[in-house]
Amino acid sequence: MNDEESDLKPNNESCVKRRRLGKNPTVDTSFLPDIDRDEEEKRLREELRREWVAKQAAIKEEEIVITYSYWDGSGHRKQVRMKKGHSIHLFLHRCVEQLRKDFSELKSASADQMMYIKEDLIIPHHYTFYDFIVTKARGKSGPLFCFDVHDDVRIRMDANVEKEESHAGKVCLRSWYERNKHIFPASRWEPYDPAKNWDHYTVSDKMAAKITVK
């Protein structure tokens, strides 16, 4: 063996050794750690998260017209334009501003003194309209996520109740509620509990039989 052949031999052996280090293409290695794959999955998850956040932010900026009824023993129907991401507290503030000129008892009232009752549930001020829309929350007498308005069957004492129709939410002074919570309709109102499931809508009053809407 000459010197030139001796120089080539180690290199050939090195190439053979390197080839033996390759992965067997017939063996499933997906369960093994793969830095590149993990980074790509992480990037895709982050991209999807950002898309979802952007979509929700856009939904919150969408405007809706809320029909409500100022309740002082009888209803006074009004409308106010809000964004889906606005809180109930801000909604009540705008209601008070709209109502002041017509109702003397509201001249010095603030949103903190007001209540919003939707489908017989007293809605806490920190919730937003978006919260009820995205979860399709339901109340005792109708959906909490719909703001199109139909006649209140309890006022008309009519048993024909559509399943997905909603009624105008009521806005009232907390002091009025405290004085009249033993009288219909306030006697049916109760605090909203997101853990409570209203599978069946019900409406009732003292002069009409109870109606269950499935």
85 close to 63: Cβ distance less than 8 angstroms? no
Number of domains in the chain: 1
36 occurs within a structural domain: no
Assigned domain for 47 exists: no
- Would residue 148 count as lying in a domain? yes
Structural domain range at position 127: 61-213
131 closest CA partner among 109, 116, 111 = 116
Would you call the peptide bond into 191 cis, given omega within 30 degrees of 0 as the criterion?
no
In a domain, 138, yes or no: yes
Using DSSP's 3-state secondary structure scheme, residue 63 falls into strand
CA gap 47, 40 in Å, rounded: 10
**Residue at 84 is within a domain:** yes
3-state secondary structure of 16: helix
Question: Is 49 inside a domain boundary?
Answer: no
CB 114 within 8 A of CB 97: no
Backbone angles phi, psi at 164, to 5 degrees: -105, 10
Cα(60)–Cα(55) distance, rounded to whole angstroms?
9
Residue 35 included in any domain = no
Strand partners, 80: 66
Q: What are 137's two structure tokens?
A: 């929350």
Within a domain: residue 125?
A: yes
Model confidence pTM above 0.85 = no
CA distances from 94 to 85, 97, 154 (A): 15, 5, 27
The owner of tokens 């794959």 is 37
End-to-end Cα separation, the chain, in angstroms: 96
| CATH number of the domain within which 205 lies | 3.10.20.90
SS3 105: helix
**Tens-level pLDDT at each residue, the chain (214 residues):** 555 555 555 555 555 455 555 566 666 666 667 787 888 888 899 999 999 999 999 999 999 999 999 999 999 999 999 999 999 999 999 999 999 999 999 999 999 999 999 999 999 999 999 999 988 888 887 788 877 654 444 444 443 343 445 678 999 999 999 999 999 999 999 999 998 887 665 655 544 434 333 3
